[in-house]
């Protein structure tokens, strides 16, 4: 399933988890429940790196419980106390009690339930995409500087994508401003026209969470080309607690892609050409309470064909 469709489901089914938890030893139930509550909180606030660390610890605890139960050889989840003979009168049946017993199978089922939950699957995908973007920003072996690069590596870089019509570039710099203030600016998608170079239109197209949104941007380009627009979906992951950073990643939404009901697909704007962004985003790193490093990266196909003659220029759908 796509991430947007997973958001259509319950991120974590508390009732189902509670039912499975009842078949674990009472001594471990409170600790596991507490960690599950913390996982839900981290998911809600888009702290997915911390979420995966928490789930890793949680699964280790459940695995240890499973191991202990295997050693105890408890294989039946219900213990019946009292005896029911064929001659037992109906009024005596209440003396028979069915008691839930911890089993290794229940522990394994709870672990599998957590691993298959939308909360965990979405968290894994977001961390994977954010880490990929971060690794590409920090890599300098495949990039060519297009400006002078200072001792901190600040400057502008370009990379030709072999076999593709897309181009990649990144810009790294530092601002004397709190990372929280910078994040606040980037979150306001409708205000990109105020600061993003050549952006003349910016419209939010819906959101899944406070930090997971969709937007349409239009960038002005010189005549005779038409303006370029992108329809993006993107999200931010708060990794401030552990690594003092925030990662924001985005990509184009394909025409055939199924969308969450909260996101609307905008029509292509008048005199605009919709282009594709394979990957784009920001890496914001706190350097001090009042300064941060900003890295911006984008891989984009500008839909500009090779112009070989005037006739091509006149009849090209890209102009």
Encoded tokens for 275: 């282009």
Instruction: With a cut of 80, say whether residue 87 has pLDDT above it.
Output: no
Cis amide leading into 211 (omega within 30): no
The angle that helices 26-44 and 118-138 make with each other, rounded to 10 degrees, is 50
Helix (H, G, I), strand (E, B) or coil at 12: coil
Instruction: With a cut of 60, say whether residue 57 has pLDDT above it.
Output: yes
Residues 165-200: tens digit of each pLDDT: 889 999 999 999 999 999 999 999 999 999 999 999
What's the per-residue H, E or C state across 184-200? HHHHCHHHHHHCCCCEE
**Distance in angstroms (rounded) separating the CA atoms of residues 311 and 91:** 97
Task: Identify the burial level of 79 via C-beta atoms within 10 angstroms of its C-beta, where 0-12 means exposed, 13-18 middle and 19 or more buried.
Answer: exposed
Higher pLDDT, 38 or 92: 38
Question: How high does pLDDT run on average in the chain?
Answer: 87
Residues 6+ apart with CB under 8 A from 235: 46, 126, 208, 209, 211, 212, 213, 248, 249, 250
State the pLDDT confidence band at 215, using cuts at 50, 70 and 90.
very high
**Distance in angstroms (rounded) separating the CA atoms of residues 276 and 210:** 24
Segments of the chain assigned E as strands: 78-81, 97-100, 144-145, 155-160, 167-175, 199-209, 212-219, 227-239, 245-252, 272-274, 276-288, 291-301
The single-letter DSSP state of residue 304 is -
**Distance in angstroms (rounded) separating the CA atoms of residues 249 and 130:** 6
Residues 59-80: tens digit of each pLDDT: 999 999 999 988 875 454 445 4
Would you state the pLDDT for residue 89?
A: 59
Instruction: Kindly report the pTM of this predicted structure.
Output: 0.84
Q: Which domains does the chain show, CATH number per domain?
A: 3-126 (no CATH), 139-315 (3.30.530.20)
**Distance in angstroms (rounded) separating the CA atoms of residues 119 and 193:** 34
How far, in Å, are 3, 191, 273, 299 from residue 200 at the CA level?
A: 29, 10, 14, 20
State the pLDDT confidence band at 140, using cuts at 50, 70 and 90.
confident
Q: 10 Å Cβ neighbour count for 141?
A: 4
Residues 6+ apart with CB under 8 A from 203: 189, 190, 215, 216, 266
Instruction: With a cut of 50, say whether residue 313 has pLDDT above it.
Output: no
CA angle 271, 273, 277 (to 5 degrees): 150
End-to-end CA distance of the chain: 37
């Amino acid at each position: 399933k796509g991430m947007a469709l997973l958001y259509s489901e319950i991120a974590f089914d508390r009732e189902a988890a509670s039912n499975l938890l009842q078949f674990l030893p009472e001594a471990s139930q409170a600790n596991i429940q507490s960690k599950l509550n913390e996982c839900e909180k981290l998911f809600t606030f888009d702290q997915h790196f911390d979420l995966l660390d928490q789930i890793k610890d949680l699964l280790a605890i459940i695995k240890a419980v499973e191991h202990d139960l295997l050693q105890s050889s408890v294989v039946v989840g219900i213990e019946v106390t009292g005896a029911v003979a064929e001659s037992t009168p109906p009024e005596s049946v209440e003396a028979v009690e069915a008691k839930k017993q911890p089993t290794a199978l229940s522990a394994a089922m709870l672990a599998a339930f957590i691993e298959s939950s939308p909360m965990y699957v979405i968290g894994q995908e977001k961390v994977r995409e954010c880490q990929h973007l971060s690794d590409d920003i920090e890599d300098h072996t495949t990039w060519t500087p297009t400006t002078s690069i200072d001792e901190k590596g600040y400057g502008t870089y370009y990379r030709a994508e072999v076999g593709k019509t897309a181009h990649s570039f990144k810009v790294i710099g530092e601002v004397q401003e709190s990372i929280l203030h910078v994040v606040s600016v980037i979150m306001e998608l409708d205000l990109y026209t105020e600061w993003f170079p050549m952006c003349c239109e910016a419209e939010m197209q819906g959101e899944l969470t406070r930090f997971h949104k969709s937007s349409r941007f239009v960038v002005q380009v010189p005549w005779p080309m038409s303006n370029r627009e992108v329809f993006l979906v993107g999200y931010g992951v708060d990794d401030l607690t552990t690594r003092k950073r925030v990662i924001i990643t985005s990509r184009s939404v394909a025409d055939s892609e199924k969308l969450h009901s909260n996101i609307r697909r905008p029509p292509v704007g008048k005199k605009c050409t919709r282009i594709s962004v394979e990957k784009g985003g920001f890496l914001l790193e706190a350097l001090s309470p009042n300064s941060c490093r900003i890295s911006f990266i984008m891989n984009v196909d500008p839909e500009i064909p090779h112009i070989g003659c005037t006739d091509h220029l006149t009849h090209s759908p890209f102009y």
